[in-house]
Amino acid sequence: MPNPDDPSDGALKRLDKQLDAFEAGRARKVAGASGGGDHGGMAAGYRFLAEVIGGVLGGLGLGWFFDRLAHTAPLGLIGGMLIGTGASIFVAVRGAMRMSNEASVKAGPQAPVTGDDEDD
């Protein structure tokens, strides 16, 4: 069993402290880069675009399929486009609200405004 006053134990303890500090700094960098970097915003933008285009095209496809089954030439296509557009807007608004809630939770509580000079 090594002696606690051994110089190698002190070196190991210093090395452990340095390693812990390095890992903590690295974790902060990774959290900062993935949370609010350009890639996170770009991914959210592409997801929004895919949801909108997918909803419209999906509605058009279902409307076309309904037209083929029911022989109602333009009505199914128009109805499918309207339903798909409405669904894609609903999904986009829901996603925007979710992202807004996540950003407000991440930002923390806001300080109250103390002076309001507009009422004077």
Q: What are the residue ranges spanned by the domains of the chain?
A: 38-107
Q: In which element (H, E) is residue 70 found?
A: helix 38-70
Instruction: Give pTM, 2 decimals.
Output: 0.56
Written as tens digits, the pLDDT of the chain (120 aa) is 455 556 677 888 888 888 888 888 887 776 665 554 567 788 888 988 999 999 999 999 999 999 999 998 889 999 999 999 999 999 989 988 998 888 888 887 877 767 666 655
| Cβ neighbourhood burial of 85 (10 Å; 0-12, 13-18, 19+) | middle
Please report how many Cα atoms fall inside a 13 Å half-sphere around the Cα of residue 7, on the Cβ side. 0
Q: Could you tell me the sign of the dihedral formed by the alpha carbons of 72, 75, 81, 82, in that order?
A: negative
Dihedral pair phi/psi, residue 93, rounded to 5°: -65, -40
